[in-house]
Structure 1
Amino acid sequence: MGVSRVVSTSVREEPASPTQAADQQVAPAPRTLRRASPRSYAACFSPSTVAFVSVAVIILDWDDTILPNTHLAKLGFSSEDEAFEVPDHCVPVLEELSKEVENFLNACLKIGTCCIVTNGLTGWVERSCQRFLPNVVPLVEQMTVVSARSNFESVFPDRPIEWKIAVYRDLLAKRGFLQEPPVETHGVYVQQQERQPQQVIALGDSQVDRCAIQYVARRTPNTQLKSIKLLDNPSMTQLQKQLHLLGVFLVQLSGHDEPLDLELSNEMLQ
């Protein structure tokens, strides 16, 4: 599979309102990665294309990206009920998931700065992690965790995409993405120095989140976005397989020298 089959670099203008953009799903459809051999996926990031080296900002969703919240809810599990205890027969399954999450988050931390952005309320990530993935807590503590809802729901009532847009803008601004590159004075004129694009890697299951980060990235100078849309409402097994696959190819993904807009399919996880 060549790069051209999985890379989407086209730029399409969205409506002025990001909420309208999400409602109409006007963002270009991501390229879908379907079933193939690991060698085929590796070919997408062949050595000839891996030339981009930069400290990445990695933006992760939490529910159904790291924590299988939908699957746990179907089982009747709760992280909010203090009296709730995970049944003994489920502990080994969660421990296996925890190992995969640890491997994935460690891989993320090796290549960049990691941020977890959730629409859950402040404290939700920490509480749910402690309840279901306690071994992951030390890794989460090394990351910036932001509740988009708690910070921006009062400003944008009932508009989750606006919450995420506001958080993404803030995160990138704090990391210098909105700063102008250095300038060099030569006599009476100023010449801007070339600088390497700053890359953002965004992973999550939500189409709204995908639209939001694309909306921000296209309006942020010198930004190279690599967006991966994950499965909707994954089972625990599917989530574990997704994280394993992403962890294997994360270094190649970060080194790829073009923007990416990908979508994982259930077929490729079989």
Structure 2
Amino acid sequence: MAMVSRRAIQNPGKGVAVKQKPSIRKTIEQTIIIFDWDDTLCPSSWIRANKKVLSFFKPAPNVEKYQKPLRELQAAVEVLLKMAMKLGTVVIVTNAMDPWVETSCRNFLPSLLPLVSTLPVIYARSIFEQQGVDVARSPSRGSSPLSRLAMPGMYAANGQNRLGNINAKIAAQRVEETSPQKWKEVAFQQEIKDFYSRYQHQSWKNVISIGDSVFERDAVRRVVLQRPTPQKKCRTKTLKLFDDPEIEELVAQVKVVYDVINVMVQYDGDLDIEIDEEDLKLDGPLMDKLRD
């Protein structure tokens, strides 16, 4: 998988360059594009950073300081989503609790609500719970293995853990089961499998994931590796945004994703692209990452 930075491709010879490969055919009906929500399309970190004025659960005040960047973000996200919908099937997958996407749209991105309402919105944690795993209870509460390991009563007088490696393995498994990455894996598996089950013997072909977390990138890779027909080629493409963006940075990142998404979809190979704060200072489009 090619992993590149924007700076590397804009300066051939100074970093890793990805050769342009032939585009794949019939991409629209064979492409699924998965967007995260928080800090990918919705300015969640910015809302939290302004908690003295903003609340997650009520509309932003009618003050230009807040409304202006929200208008800019709504315009950028609308253009991006409409472009993505022309290129493939678009799904929003979030680890937030239902109905956060609708709530945040109403309070901060109201002009996006009609468009977002037409898209599948998957609450990964809820999907995970439906499969019989209780993630609502924190691992640090009650009698969960992880909490027991942390309790002094589980240790001998000399401080040694009497249960040894057995409890450690159980705790590690519990952490795995309740991790945000695992929630995303289960949701990704369900959505991608359903998308590529529209006719008999359909194989996975072109999976794009766009989000701000490393675990999303890792989750989609693991899911694709475990696909039903591993002998057939599936192009896995991930684009990671940077953590905790200010709203102006999020607007800039959304515009950068718009610049590159068509090339990402058409690219006949795997991609792993990561944007950082320095990338936003460059003038050239992100699609230059895919050129020599």
Shorter-chain TM-score range: 0.7 to 0.9
Residue in 1 aligned with 2:214? 207
Matching of residues 22-37 of structure 1 within 5 Å: 30-34=3-7
Greater helix share, 1 or 2?
2
Judged with a 3 Å threshold, the aligned counterparts in structure 2 of structure 1 residues 38 and 242 are, in CA distance, closer, same or farther, namely farther
Give the conservation status (yes or no) of the 8 Å contact 1:152–1:166: yes
Residue in 2 aligned with 1:123? 99
CA drift of 1:61 comes to 0.3
Give the conservation status (yes or no) of the 8 Å contact 1:65–1:230: yes
CA drift of 1:35 comes to 7.1
Distance in 2 of aligned mates of 1:51 and 1:140: 28
Give the conservation status (yes or no) of the 8 Å contact 1:57–1:114: yes
Residue 253 (structure 2) pairs with residue 242 (structure 1): yes
Residue 246 of structure 1 aligns with an amino acid whose one-letter code is V
SS in 2 for 1:167: helix
Distance in 1 of aligned mates of 2:44 and 2:74: 14
Give the conservation status (yes or no) of the 8 Å contact 1:177–1:198: no
Residue 184 (structure 2) pairs with residue 160 (structure 1): no
Distance in 1 of aligned mates of 2:18 and 2:83: 19
Judged with a 3 Å threshold, the aligned counterparts in structure 2 of structure 1 residues 257 and 96 are, in CA distance, closer, same or farther, namely same
SS in 2 for 1:85: coil
Residue in 2 aligned with 1:96? 72
1:158-217 CA distance string (max 9 Å, x none) = 3222111110111012112597627xxxxxxxxxxxx7x521110000111111111001
TM-score of the two chains, using structure 1 as the length reference:
0.75
* Match for residue 269 of structure 2 among 226, 248, 258: 258
Distance in 1 of aligned mates of 2:11 and 2:71: 25
Residue in 1 aligned with 2:38? 63
Residue 54 of structure 1 aligns with an amino acid whose one-letter code is T
Counting matched residue pairs gives: 226
Distance in 1 of aligned mates of 2:276 and 2:212: 11
CA drift of 1:45 comes to 7.5
Residue 85 (structure 2) pairs with residue 109 (structure 1): yes
TM-score of the two chains, using structure 2 as the length reference:
0.70
Judged with a 3 Å threshold, the aligned counterparts in structure 2 of structure 1 residues 44 and 73 are, in CA distance, closer, same or farther, namely same
Aligned-pair RMSD on alpha carbons? 2.6
* Match for residue 224 of structure 2 among 201, 217, 222: 217
Residue 201 of structure 2 aligns with an amino acid whose one-letter code is P
CA drift of 1:44 comes to 5.6
CA drift of 1:156 comes to 5.8
Residue 173 of structure 1 aligns with an amino acid whose one-letter code is K
Greater strand share, 1 or 2?
1
SS in 2 for 1:65: coil
CA drift of 1:50 comes to 2.9
CA drift of 1:39 comes to 11
CA drift of 1:120 comes to 0.6
Residue 95 of structure 1 aligns with an amino acid whose one-letter code is R
Distance in 1 of aligned mates of 2:108 and 2:249: 17
* Match for residue 194 of structure 2 among 163, 171, 174: 174
Give the conservation status (yes or no) of the 8 Å contact 1:172–1:178: no
SS in 2 for 1:58: strand
Distance in 2 of aligned mates of 1:35 and 1:238: 20
CA drift of 1:79 comes to 2.7
Distance in 2 of aligned mates of 1:254 and 1:53: 11
Gaps of 5+ in 2: 136-177, 282-292
Give the conservation status (yes or no) of the 8 Å contact 2:208–2:238: yes
Residue 155 (structure 2) pairs with residue 148 (structure 1): no
* Match for residue 72 of structure 1 among 43, 47, 50: 47
Gaps of 5+ in 1: 1-6, 9-29, 183-194
Judged with a 3 Å threshold, the aligned counterparts in structure 2 of structure 1 residues 215 and 177 are, in CA distance, closer, same or farther, namely farther
Distance in 2 of aligned mates of 1:38 and 1:108: 28
